[in-house]
A and B are shown apart, each in its own frame.
Chain A
Amino acid sequence: MTHINAVSFTILVVLFAVVTLVGFAAVRWRRAEDVLHLNEWGLGGRGFGSFITWFLLGGDLYTAYTFIAVPALVYGTGAAGFFALSYTIMVYPIVFVFLPRLWSVARVHGYITPADFIRGRYGSRGLALAVAFTGILAVMPYIALQLVGIQAVLTVMGIGGSATTGFVHDLPLIIAFLILAGYTFVSGLRAPALIAFIKDTLVYVMIIVAIIYIPIRVGGWGHIFSVADTHLKTTNPKTGKPNGSLILEPAGMWAYSTLALGSALALFMYPHTITGVFAAKRRNVIRRNVAALPVYSLVLGLIALLGYMALAAPGVPAEVKAHDANAQLAVPFLFQRIFPSWFAGVGFAAIVIGALVPAAIMAIAAANLFARNVYKEYLRPNASDAEQTRASQWASLVVKLGALLFVLFVKQTYAIQFQLLGGIWIVQTFPAIVAGLYTRWFHRWALVIGWAVAMVFGTIAAYRLPAPGEPGTHFGASADTLPIINHTIYIGLTGLVINLVIAVVLTFVFRVVKLPGGADETRPEHYVADPEPASAEPVPVAAGAADVA
């Protein structure tokens, strides 16, 4: 059992209290007249400029995935974990192409969720429901990953997780979770947008200090890489193979690049990232941000190297081993062992707050999907804006509860699998959304069927994969050998190909049999429009465009 360090603990609690105050006070920030409109609660008034958007998207994209899951994978397997850097490098050139079109059409029609766009574009409630369902589902393991990150810090600090037993063991996590739920409920997207400033400041300070200070303390980069190399070459008794490798082996290359590409295609399909995009004030803000966001990728790359530093830091591997060999604890233990306790507290706070910000945005985005595309669409068609906002507020609580259950009851060797599982699902909305930004060629039902088959395939394929060296477990990996080409491929990408093939073939078929294609309320010019920010109302660009719905 770990002794609680009073200094680290106090710093963490104080910073957490500051963030909580800011979170609740955020409701007054850039205050709107009509608070009970989803544009306000769910999109912060759609008025964020380049600067705030950069922090908001940074807070949104770089999460416990970055701080805990990626270094854990690097700690455990070496080079293979670096696919995350490749992923965050290639994501921006990819989304540079289509994201401005999505922003424009959403602004013209007042779309709040990706499913709103699908409904308007394809005139299909079914396809919109499929997209909404996928978004809510995929975000849950991603929020769960944030909670795993918080739990890792609490465990290392000796105030929760595996350090204690019974109900008390999850109490700190539940308290953090309740506070998060509270200010998300009250302030909506304004809370994470404002807290993102604090989060990023902490993260940048933490990583700059870590990247300079830790190598000096543990004996330089040369030593770090050589210790890592030795460790990775050691045979893992559970699998009978080496732990990993310092340089990627040819056998791992296909998995590496398909995991990176699949994750990159998936990232801006997630409802929470699209929420961050829709909250921007002007079209230009999007591309400017896409060009500036890679700064965070550099941070991700450096944080990934913390995995190696943890291997080289005296005492850290032993601590990790003593705690059920939970690689997620590598970075928190590294901080605890190497930093003075006050700065360890700052680092812990950076991780915890870095997990809370995206968790809030994810919950808001999933809740918006529920309010707009399930509640209003199917349950209460006449729901007012205020009623939708209320529904969304409550749904945000339910989504977070789902994520909490995920963490409390699912054991994971590598938390990164949570995110990769979410990616397998969410990337299946790529054809409908991205193709839809350019063409109405695809038939709505072809897209629905392609999506459904790929979702079932992806879920079963992922379920069948055990964690390395732990036969009988499920959802333990995300890349599987593809029979014909005989390479290991990310299941999300295999699913996407199946999805696309079905969608293309069935579109031909449905066009031949003349199945009705559904009405399209968008026009070509809506995809390049850049209306001035208007308060809560969608901006009518073309007369008669809005009355189709």
Chain B
Amino acid sequence: MTHSGPPRRHTGAWVLVTILLLVAVLGTLIVPIYARSSPKLGSFPFFYWYQLLWVPVTALLTTICYLITTRVSRPARHGGGGEAAAAPLGGQPRGGQPLGGPGEAS
């Protein structure tokens, strides 16, 4: 298959996307990181300004991920429409196999 190359070539990009998203989630999931009152920012205890700050941080991380995913998937898209996007996977067998991780989603 001539098209089996692209997904593998971008493995690094997908690993990066996964890491960035994981950081974004863990930032507020691990509560002991921020369940404290100092350092304060103005009158705001750490607990509050840390979480509020994490909103733009998450937005930034997901934006970076968005830019990476659009860049990575662009070569498969140039014909426009579903056929082009489908081409790299067209020859794969169907069945109960996992269809891949977050990786190949464009």
Contacts and interface: CB of A to CB of B under 8 A. Distances in A.
A85 B52 contact: yes
Contacts of B99: 438-439, 524, 527
Contacts of A125: none
B62 A98 contact: no
A93 B106 contact: no
A298 B55 contact: yes
Interface stretch (A7-15, A218-226, A402-410): A218-226
Contacts of A257: 29-31
B10 interface: no
A416 to B, nearest CB: 18
Contacts of B69: 287
Main secondary structure of the interface of A (DSSP, over half): helix
Contacts, number: 172
A291 to B, nearest CB: 4
A89 B85 CA distance: 31
A293 to B, nearest CB: 8
Nearest to B99: A524
Contact of A250 (B35, B87, B102): B35
B37 A247 contact: yes
Contacts of A222: 42-43
A294 B85 contact: no
Contacts of B98: 438-439, 441
A530 B47 contact: no
A290 interface: yes
B58 A530 contact: no
Contacts of B45: 225, 246-247
Nearest to B64: A291
A528 B47 contact: no
Given A248-B31, A257-B30, A525-B90, A96 B47 contact: no
A292 B59 contact: yes
Contacts of A298: 52, 55-56
Given A222-B43, A297-B55, A93 B24 contact: yes
Contacts of B62: 92-93, 96, 290-291, 294
A97 B14 CA distance: 11
Contacts of A101: 105
17 contacts: A79-B35, A86-B28, A89-B28, A90-B27, A93-B62, A93-B65, A94-B25, A100-B106, A224-B43, A247-B37, A294-B56, A298-B52, A439-B98, A439-B99, A440-B96, A441-B96, A525-B85
| Shortest beta-carbon contacts, A-B, top 5 | A525-B86, A529-B82, A221-B43, A222-B43, A93-B24
